[in-house]
Amino acid sequence: MTYSLQSFVADSRRSVEADSGPEGLDAIRENLETLLADEAFLAAHFAVGAAPGKRTLHEDPQTGMCVLAHVIAPGGEGKPHDHGPAWAVYGQADRHTEMKERRRTDDGGVDGRATLEVVNAYRMEAGRAVVFGLGAIHSVHHPEGAWLVRVTGADLDRVVRSSYDTDGGTVHRSQPAD
């Protein structure tokens, strides 16, 4: 039985419209794990030796939800970051991702400064997905060429997000693209 991108989008739209909180996002995670098991979907959107980069597979005009396919470049390690006012569901299509979930240990009272601690670290294997709710801080490390599907509650280029430098103890807020 196949589970197409179109079916995933329709099911996920219904889930987020019914409940944009933890239950709705968990339903999207389950839908994404089903999609990641579909060989036809993987063959249509990923290829061995594909050039690194990000492609938008779908942007939903009703909910703002975006479905992105990533082929990871060499040095595929992300600084700790959040997605601002948007949630995200990461799904591993091939290989794995080392995930670290973090929380702020400061009170946010000094502009541009932040300290974080790791509260959870794990390896997300192929076929698995994980939810990051609003404001969740996390970092990722991927092997070169890994395949990832990321579903977000908004186009992240159009929202204010934060990235953190744990060595320098700083936080930087991005500016939305025009």
Domain ranges of the chain: 5-173
Q: Could you tell me the pTM of the whole model?
A: 0.94
Query: Using one digit for the tens of pLDDT, what is the confidence trace for 83-93?
Result: 999 999 999 99
CB neighbour list of residue 106: distance below 8 Å, 6 or more residues apart: 113, 114, 115
| 92 beta partners | 148
Query: Using one digit for the tens of pLDDT, what is the confidence trace for 29-41?
Result: 999 999 999 999 9
DSSP-derived 3-state class of residue 30: helix
In 32-128, beta strands by DSSP E: 53-59, 66-71, 88-94, 96-104, 116-125
Q: Above 70 in pLDDT, residue 1?
A: no
Q: Above 90 in pLDDT, residue 45?
A: yes
Q: Above 80 in pLDDT, residue 76?
A: no
Assigned CATH for 5-173? 2.60.120.10
- pLDDT category at 77 given cuts 50, 70, 90 is confident
Question: Per-residue pLDDT averaged across 130-154, rounded?
Answer: 95
